[in-house]
Structure 1
Amino acid sequence: MKHTSLKLSYGYRDLEPFLDERTIFLHYEMHYRTYVNNTNQLLQEIDKNLKKYDLFNLIQNLNMISNQDLKILLRNNAGGVINHEIFFKGLKIGTNLSQKMQYVIESKFENIKKFKEKFEKKAISCFGSGWTWLVLKNEDLSVMNTPNQENPFMYNDSSTSYYPIFGIDLWEHSYYLKYQNRKKEYIQSFWNVLNWEEAENRLLIGKSKL
């Protein structure tokens, strides 16, 4: 069982001026690839009966790992892999919010402006390192934070299902070179690089799994 690194569909400078070339390079080549390498080493230690799972399914079944140290390491590193892959695939300049996606969001949040305000407020409230997500929670859209490299998939249980639609990385390495301590500005600029097409695709996949 080995996880293959995601290949970016854009160049490091293609998200300028909102996300700078240097940040994307370091974020992908140094941070993300380190999570992948660490995860592949850890996967060699899991029980044979768990090797049938791909990484997305494994992080939803971490409680099946009896070794507590290994469980924590996988939560941090495999979570980091999945989080970054959703994040990187969710970035693209020039996509538009479709009428269908707009309808779904407005059915929950009244209008797009109020949705963005709620998402930004939630992101600003994230203390330290973590993520803010738009998720499909059972059959309803919701905005949530997760600390460190935890992923909404990890919160799934017999009564509640979470499926991340898109997320913003709030670790300082994702924005500090360009925005320094202007975290709010980084969060607001996120809408300029959000890949709405990927978000809608993930929404459809999430609904199909209900």
Structure 2
Amino acid sequence: MILLSFALAARFNELKRQREAALQLNEQILAKRVTERTMALEQANQRLSELALQDPLTGLANRTALQQHLEQALARSLRRNELLAVMLIDLDGFKPINDQHGHGFGDQVLAEIAGRLRQYIRDADLPARLGGDEFVVICENVQSAEDAQDLAKRLLEGLDTPMYLEDRAVRVGASIGIALSHGADDATLLIRLADAAMYRAKAEGRNRVQLATQQL
């Protein structure tokens, strides 16, 4: 009877240990699933946030992202006493391409332009699509007005290179207006100044760079 009691007690303890181990394993599996689900939700939310700030055609920053970034960049420029440049780029000769080859082909041209903007700007600069065939580039820590103009001219050269899409060769130029600030200006005003300078560049013959004055 004593041996039987010991055997039953050992069996009971073993069953208890197995049950506790199974419960612990289930808790670990559940915790892992909860962690994975939480991470998946966080990634999905992050992706949604990125999409909300991204132009769907070109993958560049959209108007909302541009406004947010410019306001933050202005604050940094003011704090560091650095020069910032807002470049507004409007394509020259894009409408005839759209009219001749269709909007689908025009969208491919815009996507190619976006790729070239990424290629020819500095790593720290932000390219954005303002809408239609208008783009903006935010350049922080610019050394001088001449430095900003040199950056814009490099962009012009890159954009003016012929592109080959669907066995067709097309060429698109651009007019660029530049507004400069040390950070104390309003973001919307700077874009308007750059826009006005861009229209002056178009009026003076297109495919050129124009610095903004401080009055509209």
Give the TM-score of the pair, scaled to structure 1. 0.25
Larger radius of gyration: 2
Q: Between Structure 1 and Structure 2, which shows a larger proportion of strand residues?
A: 2
